[in-house]
Chain A
Amino acid sequence: MESLISIALNSVFVGNILLAYFLGMCSFLAISKNMKTATGLGIGVLCVLTITTPANWLIYNRLLAPGALAWAGLAQLNLSYLKLVLFIATIAAIVQGLEMLIDRFSPALYAALGVFLPLITVNCAILGVSLFMVERDYTFTESVVYGVGSGAGWALAIISMSAIQQKLRYADAPEGLKGFAINMITTGLMAMGFMLFAGISLE
């Protein structure tokens, strides 16, 4: 249980997928101008990560890992090099399915979230979390916690960034610093803030 809590805390703060590993920067910089859309995209990424990470865990550990096909009598097979292709296909399929489901059952939610879903497929954070999950040898429960935590961390980062940007509009920055440059430096300062959580230990 303790390890689960520390994975959750780590993925939200210290090992924040955006601020410590630079994943999902494209949509982070493009969408963070408006708080409402930023919240929508953040929630979208959280939902998709919650589903794709465990799904990719199952695919990797039941089909691709060395010896995973032992139940089919192919114990010597190692298909792990196929993980890149299969993961990205799974993510695309799940996002597409999610889009259709939301459209069918909740048009209101679709109106709010629908435009962001296709964007999420090409978000490197989604593929990155699945790859980290494989690299760190998480169990199934751990991968669920890691997926939710990373999604929450990404959402937290983009929502706070959009709040900061609204205030920045009234700041008097030098001409060359305006726009992209000041956003990067702000992100750097935010990353520093998130790293302060590194001191927390649960033992």
Chain B
Amino acid sequence: MEKVNEVLLKPWKFLRRTKSYKEVARALWEANPISKQILGICSTLAVTVQMKTALVMCFGLTLVVAFSSLTISLMRRVIPKNIRIMAEVIVIATLVIIADELLKAFMYETSKQLSVFVGLIITNCIVLGRTEGYALMNPPFRSFMDGLANGIGYSSVLMGVAFARELLGSGKLFGHPVIPAGVYEWGYINNGLMLLAPGAFIIIGLFVWLEQTLLSKKK
């Protein structure tokens, strides 16, 4: 009775004690170093020139991670051990095809800009890593939450890169000019390098540098 009262009065306290919450928190805060997430990001860096395309990509990726974790977790007792990678890849590929077709149907222009990079979610290390490392051993709801949290954690890094690249490269955010015209009259020029591939590499390098320095200070 006391427990029920506690749940009714302080739902957030109860929520915090559930395993799903702990997993989500772990994926979002503790186990989200940029360097680790970037390893999975690799191919998606190409779409960080604009925040809009990056956002669509993040959305697609988060859904694919979440639902592939859910599906694999539901099937975890019937998948034979030897062919589990094959089964996982097939599930992920099917979900990616669905995402790709949906994009083509409802957001044709963006899907043209994303070109092959939606398809490359299949070989993304994070998606396979979550299904292989978590969903195979855990119940469906928790796996779903784990996939969702990892997708969001990863998206936050990607959006950070896109923010820096679009702001410095073309002076815009989500396609809207944010740098006042007066600044240009004083001689400010957009940094075209940020729009090219080297810009992404350098931004990531600087992000990780910052993160490492902050983390080492904390210790």
Contacts and interface: CB of A to CB of B under 8 A. Distances in A.
Contact of A184 (B100, B201, B211, B213): B201
B202 A188 contact: yes
Interface of A: 19-26, 29, 81-85, 88, 92, 122-124, 126-128, 131-132, 135, 174-177, 180-185, 187-189, 191-192, 195
Interface of B: 35, 38-40, 42-46, 86, 89-90, 93-94, 96-97, 100-101, 115-116, 119-120, 122-125, 128, 193, 196-202, 204-206, 208-213, 216
Contacts of A182: 205
Given A21-B46, A25-B39, A84-B96, A124 B120 contact: yes
Name the 9 nearest CB pairs between A and B, nearest first: A188-B201, A25-B42, A176-B212, A184-B205, A185-B205, A131-B116, A176-B213, A181-B208, A124-B123
B208 A189 contact: no
Contacts of A191: 196-198, 201
A177 B211 CA distance: 10
Contacts, number: 126
Most chain-B Cβ atoms within 10 A of its Cβ — which of A81, A82, A88, A132?
A88
B115 A135 contact: yes
A183 to B, nearest CB: 8
B202 A176 contact: no
A185 B212 CA distance: 15
Contacts of B124: 124
A160 to B, nearest CB: 15
A81 B100 CA distance: 9
Given A175-B216, A177-B209, A181-B212, A22 B101 contact: no
